[in-house]
Amino acid sequence: MIKLIASDLDGTLLQEGTMDINPEIYDIIHKLKAKGIVFAAVSGREYDSIARVFAPVKDDIYFIAGNGGIISFQGEIIEKMAIPADVLKDVVEYVRSQEDASFMTAGSAQAYVERADQAFVKKLREGYKLHVNEVDDVLHAPETMTKVAMYNEKVDAAAGAEEAKKIFGDRIQIMASGDYWVDFVDIHSGKGNALQKLCARLGITKKEEVVAFGDNCNDVSMLTEAGKSYAVTTAREEAKQAAKYVLEKPGPDSVLNVLKMILEL
């Protein structure tokens, strides 16, 4: 019996960098809940942005934000996995040094961007609908950070992640999170670890009771953790290899079709 469904957003349930989700998902989530199946929205985005996407059902689902850095339910943070201050400093100095790159850090629910990068601030506010806090120096922001996200349209994210891993080794998790996003999260974070924590909270002990959907490198740990896992047809090869199934039809409606099939079981 399926007890938990976890789905990525960008590239899986909606187009990368937009808020455009098929509103049919809200009805499906209500029906899943009525059957005792929990839905979790899992994303590299911050809570504030994900909650806007799922506003009609935000009190009915769990949120895993910042690639596993935050787990929350009904506005309450259940888990926060912050990056140690010394590691954060080194990562921020690294991303600042990368040519043509912009970056943000993420706290409990919001993004922090250095005010000098106004083009990036605009992109986050208008595309991802993030609540962006403009600061002079993210290292002096008033809270601990769960993620550093580097954005560079001139470097493929997977290649950028591999290059950063050569510098940091096992001090921090580094992953591609979109075509041009490279995310840095605490070693105890990540979507797979967060899914494990959520299962423990819900009393789910069998992998076969969990379904996951994803499309990118940052979804691999989650897809591996679930008993039934699906990669969308446009997914990166790493996600397809990690998933048990690859959806044949393109577009987010292919995910909705699987959810409908689960409702009929």
CATH number of 181's domain: 3.30.1240.10
And the tokens for 175?
């992953």
Q: What DSSP letter does each residue of 24-42 carry, written as one string?
A: HHHHHHHHHHHTT-EEEEE
Do 34 and 73 lie in a common domain?
A: yes
Do 149 and 164 lie in a common domain?
A: yes
State the average pLDDT for the chain. Answer: 94
Residue 110 predicted with pLDDT over 90: no
Q: What are the start-end ranges of the H helices in 44-202? A: 47-53, 85-96, 118-126, 157-168, 191-202
Do 181 and 194 lie in a common domain?
A: no
Do 120 and 59 lie in a common domain?
A: no
In Å, how far are 47, 99, 159, 179, 181 from 153, measured between CA atoms? Answer: 24, 11, 12, 8, 8
**Band of pLDDT at residue 46, cut at 50, 70 and 90:** confident
Q: Which residues contact 141 (CB under 8 A, 6 or more apart)?
A: 105, 107, 112, 133, 135
**Residue found by looking up tokens 């938990």 in the block:** 4
Do 167 and 203 lie in a common domain?
A: no
**Residue found by looking up tokens 């510098």 in the block:** 167
In Å, how far are 48, 120, 134, 150, 205 from 123, measured between CA atoms? Answer: 15, 5, 13, 13, 41
Do 208 and 251 lie in a common domain?
A: yes
Between 193-207, 216-230, 242-256, the lowest mean confidence (pLDDT) is in 242-256
The structural domain count of the chain equals 2
Residue 117 predicted with pLDDT over 80: yes
**Band of pLDDT at residue 93, cut at 50, 70 and 90:** very high
**Residue found by looking up tokens 């009525």 in the block:** 34
And the tokens for 105?
């850090």
| Domain end residue (candidates: 126, 154, 185) | 185
Do 225 and 260 lie in a common domain?
A: yes
Dihedral of the CA atoms 190, 195, 196, 198 (nearest 10)? 130
Residue 228 predicted with pLDDT over 80: yes
The pLDDT score that the predictor gives to residue 252 is 73
Q: How far apart are CA 135 and CA 150, in angstroms?
A: 17
Do 32 and 111 lie in a common domain?
A: no
Q: 105 is in which domain, residue-wise?
A: 85-185
Do 93 and 180 lie in a common domain?
A: yes
| Domain end residue (candidates: 127, 161, 185) | 185
| Domain end residue (candidates: 136, 156, 185) | 185
For the residues 249-263, what does the mean pLDDT come to? 91
pLDDT in tens, 183-213: 999 999 999 999 999 999 999 999 999 999 9
The pLDDT score that the predictor gives to residue 27 is 97
- Rounded to two decimals, the pTM is 0.88
Residue 250 predicted with pLDDT over 90: no
> What stretch of H or E contains 148?
strand 147-151
Do 74 and 195 lie in a common domain?
A: yes
Do 168 and 115 lie in a common domain?
A: yes
CATH number of 64's domain: 3.40.50.1000
Do 240 and 119 lie in a common domain?
A: no
The pLDDT score that the predictor gives to residue 106 is 93
